[in-house]
Structure 1
Amino acid sequence: MKRLLAWICGLLSAIGITACDYINVKELKPGVSTAVEVRERFGPPHMEWRNEDGSLTWEYSRQPEGIECFMITIGPDQILRSIDQVLNEGTFARVERGMNADQVRRLLGKAASSQFFALKQETVWEWKIDHGEASGGDAVFFTVSFNTDGRVTGTGRYTRYRGR
């Protein structure tokens, strides 16, 4: 039964439904769980990065409708090292002017959307970071702006107000 639940959660998360993330994160144990168990629960990663120490970091973004992005690090021994939900104030503060798009993707995962603004000659990526529970139903987004050289020029946030 537990294996069936893990399979269902993996399938749902692969298509962007995150109801099982809470269960998956609680049941996977750094230092104990294996890479195979992570894949069974979360499905295939959206992106994979090789780290200098031989470990791998797998990206599991829940954008555009979710408000989370999990970066899961697997050691060279195929044992889970860490699970980090990176859409948070600490990670946002690490985005700096001059970073390129790959560096930002590595920090925050795939953006919910990207839009080019011709008059300003900039591209803006955005991540949904709050469904709006705290603001009466209005979703909140974190943004990163890039110049035409693909370098960060700034960050921000905005609230998408619903008609009332």
Structure 2
Amino acid sequence: MGILSVLLGLVACDNQRIAALEEGVATEADVRQRFGEPEKIWQASDLAGNPFPGAAAEPGARTFEYNRQPEGQVNYMITIGADGKMSALRQVLTPQNFALVLPGMPMEQVRKMLGKPMKITPLPLKQETVYEWRYSDGPNTPRIFRVEFDKDLKVVRTGSVVDERAPGVNGNVS
């Protein structure tokens, strides 16, 4: 139960942080005050080739990545426009975004779309690398999204499986 309560606490804290930020009003300082230092800061030119760039690709924009992996089930991308105000806040670990990860896509582009994975597993014999992210497919459906890359760091296949380690799955109690 300890891990479950920590996870629920993180979700509650994130919801409070998000509720306190309004697009077009909140400043970079407001975002940093609520979320802290980002895992990564992406420039507009970094995200211009993504399937859903939106405000993140506007000149002068920067996108802050707030990663909740490996134990959480979300990754947030918060875009700060050239005017210093928050222009977008997205939770990117969704089935809709996973559907945009296609064979042949470069590893770097997947990383920019979904944020840092919870786990990276090299498979030397297959000459592949697997990235995994935890996410929630509904209120009580913890899952893991997997992307397999070939030796050239291009997507070979993707898939989603039940997160067997999650509390409550297969009788797991923490």
Query: Which of residues 152, 155, 160 in structure 1 aligns to 2:158?
Result: 155
Q: Deviations over 1:6-35 (max 9, x none)?
A: xxxxxxxxxx94531101111100010100
Say whether the 8 Å CA contact 1:100–1:152 is kept in structure 2: yes
Runs of 4+ in 1 over 6 A off after TM superposition: none
Amino acid aligned to 2:136: D
Any idea what SS the aligned residue of 2:84 has?
Answer: coil
1:20 counterpart = 2:26: no
Following the alignment from structure 1 to structure 2, what is the Cα–Cα distance between the partners of residues 18 and 43? 16
The residue that corresponds to 1:75 in the other structure is 81
Alignment of 1:19-98 (within 5 A): 19-52=12-45, 53-98=59-104
Say whether the 8 Å CA contact 2:134–2:163 is kept in structure 1: no
Q: How many residues are paired up?
A: 147
Determine which structure has greater relative contact order: mean sequence separation of CA pairs < 8 Å that are 6+ residues apart, divided by chain length.
2
1:102 counterpart = 2:108: yes
**TM-score w.r.t. length of structure 1:** 0.82
Amino acid aligned to 1:83: L
Q: Any unmatched runs of 5+ in structure 1?
A: 1-15
Following the alignment from structure 2 to structure 1, what is the Cα–Cα distance between the partners of residues 21 and 105? 33
Q: CA deviation at 1:94?
A: 1.3
Percent of aligned pairs with the same residue?
A: 41
Any idea what SS the aligned residue of 1:44 has?
Answer: coil
Q: Deviations over 1:25-49 (max 9, x none)?
A: 1110001010000000000110111
Indicate how the Cα distance of structure 1 residues 74 and 132 shifts in structure 2: closer, same or farther if over 3 A, else same: closer
Q: Any unmatched runs of 5+ in structure 2?
A: 1-8, 46-58
